Each structure stands twice: as C-alpha cells, then as structure tokens.
C-alpha cells in the first residue's frame, strides 16, 4: 500500500483537478508496456468504454499466490486508472486482493466525484476483473490440491 500512500500524498499537494488528471495520465505513461501479443479478446476488460487489457501472473505459494498485473488502454486517462488499480492490487496475495475493498481508497482520492459515469463503470470493471483473476488463482490452487486425493 506504499504506492497508494504516495499517490494520496501527491493528490493532497495537487489542489486543482486539472493537475490531478495530468498526474493520473503520467501514471499511465509510466506503466510497464503490455506486449502486443497480450492485446487479445481474452485479456480485454468487458464493461469499459475504452479498450482495456489486463493480464495477471502468479508466483509464490500455490495456496495463496502473489499476483502481478500488466495492462494497457487506448485512452491516456484510462491507462492512468489502470495504473491506480495496479497500485492497489498488484503484488498482493490472491486472498488479499479478493478481500480488499477499493472504495475507501477511491473515496480518499476523490476519483468517484471527478470521473464520468462511464469511466467510473469502467474502473469498477477493471477492479472486478482483477478480483476475478485472484479468485481464479485461488480456485486453481484448491483444485490442484485436491486433484491427487
């Protein structure tokens, strides 16, 4: 959560929402690139007006893997929102991701009040996708644990 604390601190310094939007766009520009071969229909987030792709990779213990996410969008502000979602969830265990409520963090950032309804819905779809990937990782680990029984 250090990245979120830093983002909250940055937002406190930036009084004007124009400056905050520019900062969100910069966050998107700093995202690790998503390889072209990962821009697939399977990786596309449904429910976003802009095109958004997210992939997840697990590592660590099979019963609660740590997930890292890589993503992209065709819209600069949305790519910044992808970066914020990754600040909240990437590098966390699957159980933590499933249990984390992003709403209080988004409230502190003030994003809910300053995004269009379409972007808010798209951001919710991104979070739902991230949580779905985490739930799938947990399900896969529980299935592999019972396969030999």
pLDDT tier at 145, thresholds 50, 70, 90? low
112 has pLDDT over 90 = no
Q: In what order do the strands lie in the sheet with 92-93?
A: 52-59, 66-73, 92-93
Q: Among 47, 45, 48, 120, which residue's Cα sits nearest to residue 56?
A: 45
pTM of the predicted structure, to 2 decimals: 0.90
Question: How many helical (H) and strand (E) elements, i.e. helices and strands, does the chain have?
Answer: 7, 3
Query: pLDDT value at position 19?
Result: 92
Rounded to 10 degrees, what is the CA torsion of 59, 97, 109, 115? 100
Q: Are 68 and 85 in contact (CB under 8 A)?
A: no
Query: pLDDT value at position 26?
Result: 96
142 has pLDDT over 90 = no
Query: Which residue range is the domain that position 37 belongs to?
Result: 2-146
**Would you please indicate which residues are annotated as catalytic (active-site) residues?**
48
> In the chain, how many domains are there?
1
Per mean pLDDT, which range of 11-15, 90-94, 127-131 is the poorest? Answer: 11-15
Average pLDDT over residues 81-101: 96
Average pLDDT over residues 18-24: 92
Whole-angstrom CA distances from 3 to 48, 61, 90, 105 are 24, 24, 10, 12
Beta-carbon count within 10 A of 131 CB: 17
147 has pLDDT over 80 = no
Q: Domain of 11: which CATH number?
A: 3.90.1010.10
What's the whole-number average pLDDT of the chain? 90
Tell me how many degrees the CA angle 85-136-117 measures, rounded to the nearest 5.
35
């Amino acid at each position: 959560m250090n990245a979120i604390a830093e983002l909250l601190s940055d937002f406190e310094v930036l009084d004007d929402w124009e400056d905050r939007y520019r900062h969100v766009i910069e966050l998107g520009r700093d995202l690790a690139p998503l390889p072209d071969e990962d821009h697939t229909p399977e990786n596309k987030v449904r429910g976003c007006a802009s095109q958004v792709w997210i992939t997840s990779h697990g590592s660590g213990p099979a019963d609660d893997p740590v997930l890292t996410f890589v993503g992209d969008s065709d819209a600069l502000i949305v790519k910044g929102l992808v970066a914020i979602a990754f600040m909240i969830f990437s590098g966390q265990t699957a159980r933590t991701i499933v249990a984390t409520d992003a709403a209080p963090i988004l409230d502190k950032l003030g994003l809910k009040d300053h995004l269009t309804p379409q972007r808010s819905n798209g951001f919710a779809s991104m979070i739902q996708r991230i949580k779905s990937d985490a739930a799938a990782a947990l399900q896969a680990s529980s299935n592999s644990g019972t396969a030999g029984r």
